[in-house]
Amino acid sequence: MMEQLVIIGSGPAGYTAAIYAGRAQLKPILFEGFEAGGSPGGQLMTTTDVENFPGFAEGIQGPVLMQQMRQQALRWGTQVITDDVIAVDFQERPFRIATTDLIMYTHAVIVCTGATAKRLHLPGEERFWNNGISACAICDGTNPLFHNVEIAVVGGGDSAAEEALYLTKYASQVHLLVRSDRLRASKTMQSRVLNHSKIQIHWQVLPISAHGDEVLQQIQLQDQITGAISELKVNGLFYAIGHRPNTRLFEGQLALDSQGYIKTTGKSTATNIAGVWAAGDVQDHLYRQAITAAGTGCMAALEAERWLAEQANAFSFAA
Ligand code: NDP
């Protein structure tokens, strides 16, 4: 199979790139993923209220927004394939894209594989994963395991604040475990967390191990100043400690920075390989917003359209 443009990833960046490329009649193929990077639709699939995406004065649910973007991409002729890309070869042209089921060749690629939540890898974490420990309150918080019990959330950013607030709907008490003496979350989120009667903040502590029998029952905390170890009886432990870019697939293929994010050139979304662009959280550790991801998805599609038009003779098709 030979294609003009393949988009890998299905968050706001991928769908926006697909909408623009579809409208430019590039007949994009979009691999929305199956398991890699979480779930098709990206991180907004595990978010409830999105209140800062322009155009939705009353806010919109993350999965609804992604469903709308997907529908819009389909409407403009995108072919969506639900499969994980497992290998790429950008060293030879046309580029080669492989899943477990197919091999596809393409002149251009837009990478929008996003980022994944980090874990702490505590002793006991594997044992209690999905039995009390999770990295997504919004996915797992409704589990009866977490109803009317005490729960801990690790982190001090917007994700931790959002998860702690969300979990107050179900838990009897939420303990927010912050490793430093300050919250990194926005002022609005800080104020919501600090003023919530069900949230107790533990400053300068880190969980160091998880204990229980069938399910999580207790964690050990270490004070980061004194080193003292204490116990906290909780039936839930949620990680909200940041993200890692989903770029393993591109190691040795694209230039990555020290944290593994794809390097892009200047104000563009161009990577070090002509014909490959990167958009969304996979190349952005600074803004990481749905709207900035969508914006860079748009940029990547416009840049790809222009580049494909310039290469049209070489590739012998009318772009
Ligand atoms: P951040 O990187 O902003 O925060 C990560 C938090 O986890 C920090 O408090 C950090 O501590 C802590 N942390 C990191 N590693 C560890 C560790 N090993 N052990 C304990 N704690 C740790 O990540 P977020 O996911 O919260 O946010 C990412 C971006 O997404 C931000 O730009 C945020 O504004 C945005 N966002 C926006 C939302 C919205 O607008 N509704 C919702 C969620 C996120 P320290 O401060 O000490 O480094």
Q: Is the dihedral of CA 74, 79, 80, 82 positive or negative?
A: positive
Q: Which of 61, 136, 241 to mutate to test the pocket of ligand 1 (most atoms within 8 A of CB)?
A: 241
Domain interval for residue 26: 2-116+243-310
Q: Is the CB of 137 under 6 A from ligand 1?
A: no
C-beta atoms surrounding 35 within 10 Å: 9
In whole numbers, what is the pLDDT of the chain averaged over residues? 93
Between the alpha carbon of residue 313 and those of residues 6, 114, 309, the distances in Å are 19, 33, 8
Euclidean distance between the first and the last CA atom of the chain, given in angstroms as a whole number: 17
Domain boundary among 195, 212, 239: 239
The encoded tokens of residue 31 equal 């691999």
228 and 257, same domain (yes or no): no
pLDDT at res. 314 = 78
- What does the angle CA 152 – CA 12 – CA 184 come to, to the nearest 5 degrees? 35
Distance (Å, rounded) from C-alpha 10 to C-alpha 25?
Answer: 19
In a domain, residue 255? The reply is yes
CA 310 to centroid of chain Cα atoms: 33
Distance (Å, rounded) from C-alpha 238 to C-alpha 163?
Answer: 8
Q: Which of 163, 179, 285 to mutate to test the pocket of ligand 1 (most atoms within 8 A of CB)?
A: 179
- Give kind and range of the element (H or E) at residue 21: helix 12-23
Q: Is the pTM of this model over 0.85?
A: no
51 and 100, same domain (yes or no): yes
8 and 110, same domain (yes or no): yes
274 and 297, same domain (yes or no): yes
Residue 318: pLDDT band with limits 50, 70, 90 = very low
Name the residue among 167, 160, 166, 180 with its Cα closest to residue 132: 167
- pLDDT at position 319 over 80: no
Instruction: State the total domains in the chain.
Output: 2
User: Cα of 84 to ligand 1 centre, how many Å?
Assistant: 27
- Strands 95-99 and 85-89 turn out to be antiparallel
User: Cα of 45 to ligand 1 centre, how many Å?
Assistant: 18
In a domain, residue 20? The reply is yes
Atom nearest to 117 CA in ligand 1: 25
Q: Is the CB of 241 under 6 A from ligand 1?
A: yes
Distance (Å, rounded) from C-alpha 101 to C-alpha 90?
Answer: 19
% of the chain beyond a pLDDT of 70: 96
pLDDT at res. 139 = 67
56 and 94, same domain (yes or no): yes
In a domain, residue 315? The reply is no
Say what angle helices 12-23 and 290-310 make with each other, to 10 degrees: 40
Name the residue among 133, 30, 11 with its Cα closest to residue 77: 30
In a domain, residue 296? The reply is yes
CA 58 to centroid of chain Cα atoms: 24
Q: Which of 158, 181, 225, 239 to mutate to test the pocket of ligand 1 (most atoms within 8 A of CB)?
A: 158
152 and 227, same domain (yes or no): yes
Q: Is the CB of 114 under 6 A from ligand 1?
A: no
198 and 288, same domain (yes or no): no
Q: Looking at the annotation, which residues are catalytic?
A: 136, 139-140
Q: Is 213 exposed, middle or buried (0-12, 13-18, 19+ CB in 10 A)?
A: exposed
In a domain, residue 153? The reply is yes
CB 178 within 8 A of CB 202: yes
What DSSP character marks residue 144? Answer: G
What DSSP character marks residue 72? Answer: H
In a domain, residue 61? The reply is yes
Distance (Å, rounded) from C-alpha 268 to C-alpha 277?
Answer: 9
pLDDT at res. 196 = 98
Distance (Å, rounded) from C-alpha 98 to C-alpha 85?
Answer: 6
Domain boundary among 185, 212, 239: 239
125 and 220, same domain (yes or no): yes
In a domain, residue 318? The reply is no
In tens, the pLDDT along 233-260 reads: 999 999 999 889 999 999 999 999 999 9
257 and 228, same domain (yes or no): no
The CATH number that applies at residue 79 is 3.50.50.60
In a domain, residue 316? The reply is no
Between the alpha carbon of residue 211 and those of residues 85, 124, 200, the distances in Å are 37, 6, 21
- pLDDT at position 170 over 60: yes
CB 115 within 8 A of CB 243: yes
User: Cα of 221 to ligand 1 centre, how many Å?
Assistant: 19
What does the pLDDT average to over 43-50? Answer: 72
Q: Is the CB of 242 under 6 A from ligand 1?
A: yes
In tens, the pLDDT along 85-142 reads: 999 999 999 999 999 999 999 999 999 999 988 999 999 999 998 789 988 887 678 8
What does the pLDDT average to over 19-48? Answer: 84
pLDDT at res. 37 = 62
Residue 285: pLDDT band with limits 50, 70, 90 = confident
